Structure 1
Amino acid sequence: MTTDCSPRLFERDEDIRAIGTGLLARTLPRAAWTHEAHLGACLWLVSERPDIDVDAEIAGVIGRYNESVGGVNDDRQGYHDSITRAYVAGVRLFLAETTETGLAARVNAMLLSDVGRRDWPLRFYSRDLLFSVAARRGFVEPDLAPLPA
């Protein structure tokens, strides 16, 4: 893996919590909403926010955040339901298997694992299906392999 493809890792638990709280409050700067931030916020939500039903609320949380920073959620950009739900499944799988205990340690280990890869959902979906309008607008079942339970 080249340096350009290496994930940006987190130094402190507080950095991840700040991303998560910024996402929820819609105060996170748009430039901070990176691939790593998406996954860090997801792991934080799943592991530290039992008051939030991630499965029921994630689409609204991300969609509203996108709009708050001037983004659009439509057929070509913004919130992508199937990719998000694939990563939620991946985060849960990773949490079930990891021995890491600190928040930053868990997020960083996940980012360095297969689950953290930008192309990880393509293990389950063909490119055509994953990048279809239907998959963006709502969850579609994978066509290559089932998502982890």
Structure 2
Amino acid sequence: MRWMIPALALAMVAGHAHAQGTMAPATAPTTPAPAATAPASPAPSVSTQAAPATKPAAKPAGKTASTSHMTLQQRFDAANTTHDGHLTKEQARSAKMTQTVRHFDAIDKDHKGYVTMDDLHAYASAQRAQHRTTPAAKPAPTKS
């Protein structure tokens, strides 16, 4: 049953792309003109060029860019459904911002119940500084 929805979606996209690219140009109706009133003229030439290549199907309008390609600001704005600049833990959870949810209490130092972009930047800077100053752990020497 899981494969059915992706298969139907693929069939719809393929059918849509096929319908856009394989239509032959419309021609005039083939009713003969009366011989007495039509002047003799050469027949219009029919183009023998191949139809232009079709473009690949575009992304569906409802799809957004992958979260791995979005900046932190874009992810924050998308998750902040109230558009007030305050991201709650529930908003972060629903937007699948797992690192923000996991470290929410550490990021929210003032225990306001929300974090801002400044809080996220300050937390990231503190983590980078801590990582630079902490020496790498050496394995314990083994006795033989």
TM category, shorter: under 0.3
Specify the structure having the higher radius of gyration (Cα). Answer: 2
**TM-score normalized with structure 1 length:** 0.25
**Higher RCO, Cα 8 Å, sep 6+:** 1
